[in-house]
Amino acid sequence: MTIPASATTATFTFWVRIDTAETTSSTAYDTMKAQVISGTTTTTLATYSNLSATGGAFVQKSFDLTAYKGKTVTVKFLSQEDSSLQTSFVVDDVAVTTS
Please list the helix, strand and coil fractions of the chain in percent, rounded to the nearest 5, in that order: 5, 55, 40
Over the Cα atoms of the chain, what is R_g? 15
Taking the complete model, does pTM exceed 0.75, yes or no?
A: yes
* Extents of the domains making up the chain: 10-21+30-98
* Sequence-distant (≥ 6) Cβ neighbours of residue 64 within 8 angstroms: 9, 10, 11
- Of the candidates 38, 42, 49, which has an alpha carbon nearest to the alpha carbon of residue 79? 49
- Write out pLDDT tens, residues 2-22: 999 999 999 999 999 999 999
Mean local confidence (pLDDT), 67-84: 97
Residues paired with 89 in a beta bridge = 18
